[in-house]
Structures are given as C-alpha cells and as structure tokens.
Amino acid sequence: MLPAPLREIGFDQNLGNLVPLDTEFRDETGRTIALGEYFGKRPVVMVFAYYDCPMLCTIVINGLASALDVLSLVPGKDFEIVTVSFDPHDTPATAAAKKAPYIARYKQPGAAAAWHFLTGEQRAIDRLTHAAGFRYVWDKETKQFAHPTGIVVLTPDGRLARYLFGIEYGPRDLRYAIVEASSGQVGSPVDSLLLYCFHYDPLTGRYGVAIIRVIRLAAGVTVVGLATFIVIMLRRERHDRPPQGRWTRRYARARLQIVSRHPPD
C-alpha cells in the first residue's frame, strides 16, 4: 500500500483549460510580473519545482535541459520556458542561483532571456498548480515536498496542450508538443507531416506511431504515384505517335496514286 503522501500527488491532465495569466509572481531578478507576460506570441514549456529540493526537482530540470540541448527550435523565438517554484519560501535569490548553472549549460542564443525562474506567494502558487492539475503535498516526516514529475506545454494563449511525464523527455516528444501547441506556427512542413503519423498518448505522455494514419498516408502516396505514372506514360505515347491528320493525308495520297495507276474497268 502506498504511503499517504504518495496517494495525494499526481498530474490531472486539464487539457484545453486556461491557466490564470493574471497571477503575479516574481522573477529571478525580483521583478513582479503577471504570468501572462510570457504568453501571447509563442508556446510555453512549464516545469514545477522548488529550488531547495535535494534531488527530484533537479533531476526533472536536468531532464528538460538535456532535451533542450539537442532541440533545434530557438528559445525566445519559437518558445518560452517557465520554471515555477511551489515553495512559498523560495526567493528571487534562490531562483537566480537555480537558474545560473542551466543557463551556463544551455548555449542557445537568447536562452537567458527566454528561461524564467519564478517564485510567488502561496495563493498565487495554489491558483496556478490547481489550474495545471499539479498535485503535491508537504511530507512532515521527511520535511520535503512529495510531488509528481513531468513538464507541461501550453499554447500561446495559455491553454494546457500537452503533459510529458517522467524525469527524461525525448527531444522528439518535446518538439512535437511545442509544434502542436503552436498550431503549426513553429516548426517545418516535415514536422506537420510527422505529426500526422505520430499520435499523442495522454496516458503515457509520449508520442507513438499511429499505424492507421501511416497506412492511409502510404496508400495516398501509392495512389498519387500510380496516377503520376499513368499520366507520364499517356503523354509519352501521344508524343511518340504521329498526329492522326498526317496519317490521313498520307493514306489519301497513296490511294489516289494507286487509283490513277490502275483505273477501274
């Protein structure tokens, strides 16, 4: 039987719901901001963590950083990253200390301006975590927070689009989640084609091959290929065959010559 704290934690997937963009937090510089300041133009990758966490939160952020390291999308241009502490005792100073090593590691241009580490009061934390479906508890025995692991991808207007669970996040899954959240405004035409073939599974928080879609796409490609082949062959046949009028004129002249040489009795 699970310990009581573990029975109370988890992610409720509130897909499509809006997060409270008017909720105020403080960034790592101490500036008070409304959450909506990071929305409006591009998708947002959000992770919940508290900055004095002895192990799990760091592992989660490390997993995100590893995926970001190989992601070709550009932070600040294609997406924003928002890390939110759910410990009201965290301060801008602890947020800045947590941010520093990740920015030193994440070499993409614009990363420092695009990755935000926030702290806030309990009421603000409760509003955001409740909206995002992030359930956590304080464990008095260990004097630590018990919490789920995962990241959330939101649309530019602040709607919950995708949940990726665990402590490691495949760069492909993260890219697809960002592309989907952007409604095609981020990524390439190839991404759109691949998203047709890959399906998001909310139970696992991963993208898998959608067999039926792959079969349909293969069938469509086959039909187009056959049609193209038929059109090419018909055009080639018409090009190689002399025009009908030329054959008719030749036949008429030949017949006239035969008749003139051998008039009928």
Angstrom distance (rounded) from CA 256 to CA 233: 36
Tell whether the model's pLDDT for residue 7 goes beyond 80.
Answer: no
Residues 166 and 224 in one domain: no
- Domain of residue 192: give its range: 4-209
Question: What length is written for the chain?
Answer: 265
pLDDT of residue 141: 86
Tell whether the model's pLDDT for residue 263 goes beyond 60.
Answer: no
Residues 9 and 96 in one domain: yes
Q: Say which CATH number the domain at 177 has.
A: 3.40.30.10
Q: Which of 174, 195, 204, 144 is nearest to 47 (CA)?
A: 174
Residues 245 and 170 in one domain: no
Tell whether the model's pLDDT for residue 134 goes beyond 50.
Answer: yes
pLDDT in tens, 58-90: 999 999 999 999 998 999 999 999 999 999 999
pLDDT of residue 94: 97
Write the burial class of residue 150 (CB in 10 Å: 0-12 exposed, 13-18 middle, 19+ buried): buried
pLDDT of residue 207: 57
Complete DSSP assignment for 38-104: G-SSS-EEEEE--TT-SSHHHHHHHHHHHHHHT--SPBTTTBEEEEE---TT--HHHHHHHHHHHHH
Whole-number mean pLDDT of the chain? 80
Residues 181 and 248 in one domain: no
Stated pTM of the model: 0.72
Residues 22 and 131 in one domain: yes
pLDDT in tens, 103-124: 998 888 889 999 999 999 999 9
pLDDT of residue 192: 46
Residues 244 and 143 in one domain: no
Using alpha carbons only, give the angle 180, 159, 9 rounded to the nearest 5 degrees: 105
Question: Which of the residue ranges 101-115, 136-150, 188-202, 229-243 would you say has the lowest mean pLDDT?
Answer: 188-202
Give how many domains the chain has, as a whole number. Answer: 2
Residues 141 and 12 in one domain: yes
Residues 186 and 158 in one domain: yes
pLDDT of residue 114: 96
Q: Quote helix, strand, coil % in the chain, to nearest 5.
A: 45, 20, 35
